[in-house]
């Protein structure tokens, strides 16, 4: 199980690292978007900060996954991003689902593998 966790976290880390560096350094021109996904991306880009925030978060979490440090934290922080990737692909660009589904499942798998680390966070104890 330990080897599978290492493989999954490194692959996730490489995906996020690659995607964030390509975007942040503008290494590849963005493809022409159509329909609902164009409207969605125009909304995100209109904020002038949101996509950069997402990509910096992906970069930091990707480094954490590759380094094997702060993996439980990175798993929680990256979860809303992987969920949004899944839902965006499910509703607007179904051709992206072959990447989105395994990415989301990998995030769930890592969260399951780190479940002991979340025990104190999820304990129903009153604050002192």
10-residue averages of pLDDT along the chain (128 residues): 96 97 93 91 94 97 97 98 97 95 98 93 82
Listed in sequence order, the residues at least 6 apart from 94 whose beta carbon sits closer than 8 Å to its beta carbon are none
Long-range contacts formed by 114-123: CB under 8 A, 24+ apart: 114/71, 114/72, 114/75, 117/72, 118/72, 118/76
Cβ of 42: how many Cβ atoms within 10 Å?
A: 10
Among residues 51, 62, 55, 45, the alpha carbon closest in space to that of 9 is found at 62
Which pLDDT does position 126 carry in this prediction? 83
pLDDT for residue 123 = 85
Instruction: Report the C-alpha gap between 107 and 13 in whole angstroms.
Output: 11
pLDDT score of 31:
86
Question: Residue 128: its pLDDT value, please?
Answer: 72
Neighbours of 75 (CB within 10 A): 26
pTM of the model: 0.91
76 in Cβ contact with 31 (< 8 Å): no
């Amino acid at each position: 199980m330990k080897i599978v966790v290492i493989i999954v976290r490194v692959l996730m880390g490489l995906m996020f690292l690659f995607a964030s560096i390509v975007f942040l350094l503008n290494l590849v021109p963005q493809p022409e978007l159509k329909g609902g996904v164009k409207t969605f991306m125009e909304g995100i880009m209109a904020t002038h900060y949101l996509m950069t925030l997402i990509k910096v978060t992906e970069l930091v979490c990707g480094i954490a996954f590759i380094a094997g440090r702060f993996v439980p934290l990175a798993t929680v922080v990256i979860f809303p991003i992987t969920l949004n990737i899944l839902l965006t692909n499910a509703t607007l660009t179904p051709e992206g689902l072959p990447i989105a589904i395994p990415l989301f499942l990998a995030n769930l798998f890592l969260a399951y593998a780190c479940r002991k680390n979340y025990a104190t966070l999820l304990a129903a104890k009153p604050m002192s």
